[in-house]
Structure 1
Amino acid sequence: MTIPNAAANAAPPEEAGQAPIRPLAASTAAAPMVAFEAVTKRFGEAGGKPGFTALDGIDFTVARGAITGIIGRSGAGKSTLIRLVNGLEKASSGRVTVDGVEVGGLSEHGLRDLRRQVGMIFQHFNLLTSRTAFDNVALPLEIAGVDKKTIRDKVTPLLDLVGLGDKAGRYPSELSGGQKQRVGIARALATSPKLLLSDEATSALDPETTQSILELLKRINAELGLTVLLITHEMEVVKEIATDVAVIDRGRIVEAGSTFDVYASPKHETTRTLLATALKLPEWLRNGLKAQPSVGDRVLVRLVFFGETAFKPLTGRLVSELGSDVNILAGGIEEIGGKPFGSLVVSYSAAPDVVERANRFYAETGLSTEVLGYVA
């Protein structure tokens, strides 16, 4: 089924009784959809006191048509960042632009215009319990003054798109968590936005439902060319859906790039920590990791296979180099951004001579590695 173009079905402005929803600016393929320029956001400033700095000098762009993930721990500044995009918060300094227009300079009328073009889905769905699935999706169109026939012509195919055509008359209390989120996605698409914001949209869902929601978002992105900006604390979500990723820590972007590059070769400690939580190591092993070795300890190393190294039998050669001391603890082969990617966690003696032989082998073969820590 083709995703409906809600804009094509919209009522003319004179029918709807509203001013037309104009493009925010003339778009160019090269220009980013969203740009943060030296953005700082502080809360609680009063009496000369600086207050709490939630965002500190953010410089970051979201490519047009991409799915970009913002990942970080709780309290890192993710939600504040995304609320600046649709004007729910205003930057204390710096500029936030969406499709070339500075959000902070918009009037109330301008912000309403912006929010019609920026859809948003939420962690806890934010559906009105007294309205059916159909009526929840129709709400932003009703607010815009669209006539009933046009609403019906737009909402019905949107519910079909998200797999809820037979649930139009159901209330939120009659829907599962995944179905509620699908209603939320359909509602976010009702005004034909050019940008979709996702605020931890899958964190309240089980893994199977999460997967289905991510597949739906990927389909929407591919068929509509809709730019998606999502925030999450789950590295698995970023790996599954995002083409690009930025890591935020204590209000600063500490690392950014293509998802494949960041996942394959993390540069910042925060990124490495977030990746470690996705490695599926036993809890007792994760809890026992130390930053520095003691005599007799073993080192845990993540080996990353991609590009030329993805198809070479390097693990067997490592065992030959170090002997039977090598233990394989976890691993898998997957695809990130359409590229083959393998990850293997091994352990061996942290004795200096063994580590030196291993490092020499890595340098000779071009194998990408990351030391995860040490265990007794």
Structure 2
Amino acid sequence: MVTFEGVTKRYGDAANPFVALDGVDMTVGRGAITGIIGRSGAGKSTLIRLVNGLEKASDGRVVVDGTEVGQLNETGLRGLRREVGMIFQHFNLLSSRTAFDNIALPLEIAGFDPAAIKAKVVPLLDLVGLGDKSASYPSELSGGQKQRVGIARALATSPKLLLSDEATSALDPETTQSILALLKQINAELGLTVLLITHEMEVVKTIASHVAVIDKGRIVEQGPTFDIFTAPRHETTRILLSSTVGTNLPEWLRTGLKAAPSAGDRILVRLTFFGATAFQPLTAQLVTEIGGNVNILAGAIEEIAGEPFGTLVVAYPATPDVLARADRFYAATGLSTEVLGYVA
């Protein structure tokens, strides 16, 4: 649905340029929910604003459904924006208009008659769960309800692509989950491609099928969400995900870790369960294989892009015979492991 080809965006003049995007190559699959994550100032918002022509690339091409955005004139951009809906962090509703009238606004601008507008807006209100809030003003709505109005407004012109600019950042966790569920529903029922930017890793983990990581204006890693979240390759990705995915050791345990063992020490190993190992009783088998002197120190079970993923930190004697038996067990079962260090 969207292709970025060598996209660079510079601000300022030639003597003092600021490079917001630097040679971005990326694709957004049709019908997918793709997330873009990165630190503040990494270039996320600039990237998404290139898609609907709110910004123009300095170099490279942005192609939306076969149309090169940078080649469009104002008339062409208006046509593009009817096919690319956008929802915002702070809703951007008009306070003087009801929920119905906010949703109707893009249809009014496009020249639809009142009967056609009503026929379009009423089902959208029902779709976003606000059928009883048609006459309510933004001041009478909760944050989640305002965002639902924003989503319905973005869908009013029947777009092919929905852009989400930190759409859940201003919402509480419970409301965030309801909005994410709505976006998943819209994606499934309407076949709508969704491109979202966020600094909330939980958002991407919950709904995105694919993810791209941006750092200092460059895409440093991209692929299926499960693959990126469970086996990040780039240091920026690992830092972003460090508190979101997997098991974090308690501070008292982390500070006591040693890189090399001494006599009588125990080894700490993180076991990772996914795919074929997700539902097997491997922990019990490990105890049977190496003996009962195994401590379970931390663990977590979660879902990433709809797939199960679990981690467990265990400790056992760092003696040659125990280590050898454990290594044979890991090799035989295909269990993914990581040595975290040694403790007294």
* TM-score relative to the length of structure 1: 0.81
Give yes or no for contact 1:40–1:54 (8 Å, CA) kept in 2: yes
1:329 to 284, 298, 301: 298
2:128 to 150, 158, 162: 162
Percent identity between the aligned chains? 70
State how far apart, in whole Å, the 2-side matches of 1:106 and 1:291 are.
58
Map of 1:195 onto structure 2:
161
Shift of 1:191: 0.6
Map of 1:223 onto structure 2:
189
1:146 to 98, 109, 112: 112
State how far apart, in whole Å, the 2-side matches of 1:73 and 1:350 are.
40
> Cα–Cα, structure 1 residues 105 and 375, in superposed 2: closer, same or farther, change >3 Å?
farther
State how far apart, in whole Å, the 2-side matches of 1:163 and 1:366 are.
46
1:253 to 213, 219, 228: 219
Map of 1:265 onto structure 2:
231
State how far apart, in whole Å, the 1-side matches of 2:5 and 2:273 are.
35
Measured against aligned partners, the alpha-carbon deviations of 1:126-183 in whole angstroms (never above 9, x if no partner) come to 1111211111111111111211221111111111111111111111111111000000
State how far apart, in whole Å, the 2-side matches of 1:231 and 1:286 are.
35
Measured against aligned partners, the alpha-carbon deviations of 1:186-228 in whole angstroms (never above 9, x if no partner) come to 0000011000001111122122211111111111111111111
Shift of 1:261: 2.0
Residue type matched to 1:41 in 2?
K
Find out whether 1:344 has 2:308 as its counterpart.
Answer: no
Q: Unpaired runs of 5+ in structure 1?
A: 1-32
Give yes or no for contact 2:7–2:57 (8 Å, CA) kept in 1: yes
Measured against aligned partners, the alpha-carbon deviations of 1:239-276 in whole angstroms (never above 9, x if no partner) come to 21111111222222122111222223222222222322
Give yes or no for contact 1:293–1:375 (8 Å, CA) kept in 2: no
Residue type matched to 2:80 in 1?
L
Measured against aligned partners, the alpha-carbon deviations of 1:9-28 in whole angstroms (never above 9, x if no partner) come to xxxxxxxxxxxxxxxxxxxx
State how far apart, in whole Å, the 1-side matches of 2:81 and 2:215 are.
27
Residue type matched to 1:316 in 2?
A
Shift of 1:307: 2.1
Shift of 1:43: 1.8
Give yes or no for contact 1:138–1:155 (8 Å, CA) kept in 2: yes
> How many residues are aligned here?
340
The 5-angstrom pairing of residues 72-83 of structure 1 reads: 72-83=38-49
Give yes or no for contact 1:42–1:52 (8 Å, CA) kept in 2: yes
State how far apart, in whole Å, the 1-side matches of 2:46 and 2:280 are.
44
Q: What RMSD in Å do the two structures reach over aligned CA positions?
A: 3.0
State how far apart, in whole Å, the 1-side matches of 2:296 and 2:226 are.
26
1:137 to 83, 97, 103: 103
The 5-angstrom pairing of residues 25-174 of structure 1 reads: 33-44=1-12, 46-49=13-16, 51-174=17-140
Residue aligned with 2:186, SS: helix
State how far apart, in whole Å, the 1-side matches of 2:325 and 2:10 are.
50
Give yes or no for contact 1:37–1:94 (8 Å, CA) kept in 2: yes
State how far apart, in whole Å, the 2-side matches of 1:309 and 1:168 are.
49
> Cα–Cα, structure 1 residues 273 and 367, in superposed 2: closer, same or farther, change >3 Å?
farther
State how far apart, in whole Å, the 1-side matches of 2:276 and 2:108 are.
55
> Cα–Cα, structure 1 residues 272 and 345, in superposed 2: closer, same or farther, change >3 Å?
farther
Map of 2:278 onto structure 1:
310
State how far apart, in whole Å, the 2-side matches of 1:125 and 1:287 are.
44
State how far apart, in whole Å, the 2-side matches of 1:372 and 1:43 are.
44
> Cα–Cα, structure 1 residues 323 and 47, in superposed 2: closer, same or farther, change >3 Å?
same
State how far apart, in whole Å, the 2-side matches of 1:271 and 1:364 are.
30
Measured against aligned partners, the alpha-carbon deviations of 1:262-321 in whole angstroms (never above 9, x if no partner) come to 223222222222322114867963995699847779876543222221232222344453
> Cα–Cα, structure 1 residues 284 and 195, in superposed 2: closer, same or farther, change >3 Å?
same
State how far apart, in whole Å, the 1-side matches of 2:83 and 2:256 are.
48
1:366 to 314, 334, 337: 334
> Cα–Cα, structure 1 residues 126 and 328, in superposed 2: closer, same or farther, change >3 Å?
same
Shift of 1:375: 8.5
Higher mean C-alpha displacement, 311-320 vs 231-240: 311-320
Residue aligned with 2:283, SS: helix
Shift of 1:324: 3.0
